[in-house]
Chain A
Amino acid sequence: MNLQIIDMAHVSLRELNTTLQKPGDASEATNWEVINSKGSHAIAVGLDAPIDVTIKGSTGYYCAGMNKQATIRVKGSAGPGVAENMMSGTVIIDGDASQYAGATGHGGLLVIKGNASSRCGISMKGIDIVVHGNIGHMSAFMAQSGNLVVLGDAGDALGDSLYEARLFVRGKVKSLGADCVEKEMRPEHIAILKDLLARSGADAKPEEFKRYGSARQLYNFHIDNASNY
């Protein structure tokens, strides 16, 4: 496993990211542990190798931003914009996540074991997000594609101005946003959900969820819809 420990009490953010962003080869470490993160911003951003990084402690803004390939685990809570614009790989937050978790993510899997704040999955573009707890208001706003799975409840205006992303919620939805409607759960959706629940270590059955998606009524501007905007 060749575990390497980086202590942020002695290593700067620049040095940390430079180390983690280095192109890996077989002789180099593939397992990293970051200690004394102290809520620093932009930890482990722009990674592009199949390495494992565990951050012991909570993180500030944009942890794991634009991640590719890497598996990043936060043993704490994550600040705003965790895994923003992620392309691939896996990011796991053991605690809670602040606003904009997974914003504009293009791919990969983001797992939040606790709750996620407002605008979780905003403008998501292919990422899969599984939240074991609840999510805040305006989540999946303008979400384009990918899957957002919520084991708990969702706040106001879920999926407002949604495009083609799929939303699965097990608990209550306080309200749906413009053009977001409940949809039939078909076998292919059960299969997607089953896979995501298994990969994210979630103890839930696909049949317990409801699916929400776009009614596609606002896809082309029409004056009769003006009051919906």
Chain B
Amino acid sequence: MDDFSTKATPPTTPRKSWTFSDDVNSDIRRAAATGIYDIRGGGAKRRVPHFDDLLFLGASISRYPLEGYREKCDTRVTLGTRFAKKPIELDIPITIAGMSFGALSGPAKEALGRGATAAGTSTTTGDGGMTEEERGHSKKLVYQYLPSRYGMNPDDLRRCDAIEIVVGQGAKPGGGGMLLGQKISDRVAEMRNLPKGIDQRSACRHPDWTGPDDLEIKILELREITNWEKPIYIKIGGARPYFDTTLAIKAGADVIVLDGMQGGTAATQDVFIENVGQPTLACIRPAVQALQDMGMHRQVQLVISGGIRTGADVAKALALGADAVSIGTAALIALGDNDPRWEAEYNSLGTTAGAYDDWQEGRDPAGITTQDPELMARLDPIAAGRRLRNYLNVMTLEAQTIARACGKNHLHNLEPEDLCALTIEAAAMAGVPLAGTDWVPGAKGF
């Protein structure tokens, strides 16, 4: 008979807390050392229900597929058909999201324009105004109308192809922006009419309107200035998508751009990015429902952004009712952001390729989120534009592959019925059945 009392106590495996993980503990130590919150770029990094949690059913006896290499699957989309005299016609339903000159280098903006134009789609300005690089290289350019109004002027308003009134963005619904002084070069300072080297705040509210009734009048003014030619987009963060979409329609939007919490920002507090707003997947169905309830689905176009990475994501967003998607972070990665070729330099900045997010510091080894002339020169805008074009082409081919498998001759013919969900959460958010069941959790309302 064993005598346990005479033996050494068996060791237990050291166990780290799930609540106090290494990440959390490092955040606490950083806060204790600095006394200030962490600021970074990018979108939410936490795991949230996403397009990965949806699957297409594909064709079967009751659904005929289209032949992959023979039968046409259209990808074109027209944005701004409600009121604008000159809607935007795109070859593919994947647009480039607004990113500012200032946050990004001039060559990076040029590369975005080149890549988007070669793929037959649009790119978008950001806070800080319109640069010649992006206007010159973007066949279709959307001009953002932001609270800061940095660089805003009627001439650029008239030479853009659409106007995007930014109410919010997914990374920080309810938040403004901050371009730190180290990224304020002479050119950035001049465009924003502020001294070089100081932190430049972008307000969280527009200076001359509050609420949907004012917004309706603001839209009237912009249309009057631009002869009612330009489609007016309204960009909202994923806060209250049903009500915000309803109010944007009421205010007179031609297009609604809805950005979920995985959508990126140039610089915001990490606590904001990770804890405010809803996942992209959770935003689409309420927005589509609002469009349908107002009788405006497909008349007011819906553009979805925030974590779009593949043609499958594109197809899923469209199947849920979007007219197009927009990419930002993925476009930067296609240009060369976070590329392992710069691993040694990422290490010297205390990070690693794939995790680099201190875009606000302006020391980007890839030369994209910087105004440092030496770093900027690393990005060849022609080669980077080609990479973006290739990536956009691949996403389009992927989306077409899925659409054909579902028997659809246009990406817009994809529908929720083509989808099922792998998790109860995703099924509830997307409004599609849990795989293997006919159960749509929460189908009675939001």
Residues of A within 8 A of B (CB): 13-14, 17-18, 21, 41-42, 45-46, 48, 60-62, 65-66, 68, 80-81, 84-85, 87, 99-100, 103-104, 106, 119, 122-123, 125-126, 141-142, 144-145, 161, 163-164, 219-221, 223
Contact = CB atoms under 8 A, between A and B. Distances in A.
A164 B225 CA distance: 29
Contacts of B67: none
Contacts, number: 99
Contacts of A161: 201
B194 A163 contact: yes
For B157, B192, B201, B221, the residue with the greatest tally of chain A CB atoms inside 10 Å of its CB is B221
A18 B225 CA distance: 9
Given A100-B207, A219-B199, 11 more contacts: A17-B224, A18-B227, A41-B221, A84-B207, A99-B208, A103-B208, A106-B153, A123-B203, A125-B193, A144-B192, A144-B194
A14 B193 contact: no
Contacts of B197: 220
Interface string B35-62: 1100000000000000000000000000
B153 A45 contact: no
A57 to B, nearest CB: 18
A1 to B, nearest CB: 26
Most B-side CB within 10 Å, residue of A18, A62, A219: A62
Interface of B: 34-36, 148-149, 152-154, 157, 178, 180-181, 192-195, 197-199, 201, 203, 207-209, 214, 217-218, 220-221, 224-228
A100 B208 contact: yes
B224 A45 contact: yes
22 contacts: A14-B228, A17-B225, A21-B227, A46-B154, A61-B218, A65-B225, A66-B153, A66-B154, A66-B225, A80-B214, A84-B207, A85-B154, A87-B154, A99-B208, A100-B207, A103-B208, A104-B149, A104-B207, A123-B148, A123-B203, A145-B193, A223-B36
B153 A13 contact: no
A171 B228 CA distance: 44
B221 A62 contact: yes
B217 A220 contact: no
Contact of A219 (B157, B193, B195, B225): B195
A65 B347 CA distance: 50
Nearest to A229: B201
A111 B201 CA distance: 28
Q: Please name the 5 residue pairs, one residue from A and one from B, whose CB atoms are nearest each other, closest first.
A: A46-B225, A219-B198, A81-B208, A100-B208, A104-B149
A68 B152 contact: no
B149 A42 contact: no
A141 B194 CA distance: 14
Contact of B208 (A60, A84, A87, A220): A84
A163 B195 contact: yes
Contacts of A18: 227
A62 B218 contact: yes
A60 B154 contact: no
Contact of A85 (B35, B152, B180, B217): B152
Nearest to B36: A223
A17 B209 CA distance: 21
Given A41-B217, A66-B153, A66-B157, A104 B225 contact: no
A85 B203 contact: no
Given A104-B149, A104-B207, A164 B221 contact: no
Contacts of B198: 163, 219-220
Contact of A122 (B36, B208, B221): B208
Nearest to A216: B198
Contacts of A125: 149, 193
A142 B221 contact: no
Contact of A220 (B149, B192, B199): B199
Given A14-B224, A46-B154, A126 B193 contact: yes
Contacts of A81: 208-209
A142 B201 contact: yes
Contacts of A119: 207
A106 B157 CA distance: 15
A18 B154 CA distance: 15
Contact of A46 (B192, B193, B199, B224): B224
B225 A123 contact: no
Given A220-B198, A220-B199, A221-B199, A123 B224 contact: no
Given A42-B224, A61-B214, A87 B194 contact: no
A144 B217 contact: no
A51 B432 CA distance: 60
A103 B207 contact: yes
B208 A45 contact: no
Contacts of A100: 207-208
A220 B195 contact: no
B217 A123 contact: no
Nearest to A17: B224
A83 B152 CA distance: 14
A164 B195 contact: yes
